[in-house]
Every structure is written in structure tokens, then in C-alpha cells.
Structure 1
């Protein structure tokens, strides 16, 4: 069972919660110019405060529920990057691929 942030009774130190887990990105690709709304689904997402596309942060990150986070993609060079979700204790999720598509010719 996941642990929540709480004070340990005898130590007075915060407990570490389990890391968020990603199951799916929707959509799994978008234009390299960015601005694509993305829905991330998984578990333990209620405390997510950042979504990273490679090293670039997504914008407008919103933890909608324990199973859903939404954000908007940054501009990025074309190619596949790994997406991770980061919670308020800096726990990082498993990565999922997202493809930034080149502009049409």
C-alpha cells in the first residue's frame, strides 16, 4: 500500500511515498513546435508537479486525480524522448516514449 507524506511517530521525519507510475501517454506524439495537450495516466499521480520531455519541462502541469495528469508539450527538436512525471518529493516515475514530429515538408 502506498505511503503518504506523514510524520513518523518516533522520529519526527517525513515518510517517503512511492514513486508515481506511468501507464500511457495520450497522444504518444505531437509536432516539434510544441503546444500539444497530453494526458498521462497511471497510478500515484496526485502529487505530480512536473512532467519532463527529455530534459525539457512540460507546461500547465495539472494533477487531476491519482490516475491522471495533464500538461502541454514544450517545443523540442524532432525525435523520440523519454517522458517522466516528478512528484513534490522529487520521486521520478518510469519513463514512457513521446515522439516529436518534424514539420511537414
Structure 2
């Protein structure tokens, strides 16, 4: 997905400012990012939420928001780290930078 395509998507999210729309980006079925356009005092603010973490970023500039989104999705991995599958005998667990997702 190109940076220009992401900018267009963000513009469309803001066009419908009377409706609460959230766009979710996924990689291999794992949600890595959710994006909303908030209308605060007649200004569009982009809320970027990283599922499975407490991180939320806000961007008032569409170019900044698009760049952040493009950087995340171009890596093809969650923004908060790598997901590992560790198996010992028949027992497997998922570990995300020390976070147990069993």
C-alpha cells in the first residue's frame, strides 16, 4: 500500500465525520493497527491504536499519519515487536517481546 493510497484512505475516513468509522490493518490475520478520524473543534485528528498494547498515537497532519501507517504496514510485522512461537515437546506458546499470549 503506497503512502498516497493511505492518504486517500485517511481523507475518506474524515469525509464521513458524523459517523464513527474505524479502519483496521491486519497482517496474516493479526490486527496490527486501527485508525479513526476524530473531529475535534472542527479539526481532524487521526487516532492510531495498536491492538494488544496500550499504545495510542494522535496525528493532526494527514501526511504524518500516512507516513506512520505506511512505515508500520510496510514492515509486515506488528509495530510493537515480533511474534514468536515457542514449542517444547507438544506444548506451544506465543511470545511477543516477553508478553505471554498463550
Normalised by the shorter chain, which TM-score bucket?
A: under 0.3
Would you tell me which structure has more strand in proportion to its own residues?
Answer: 1
Q: Which has the higher contact order (CA 8 A, sep 6+)?
A: 1
**TM-score calculated relative to the size of structure 2:** 0.28
Compute the TM-score of the two structures, normalised by the length of structure 1: 0.27
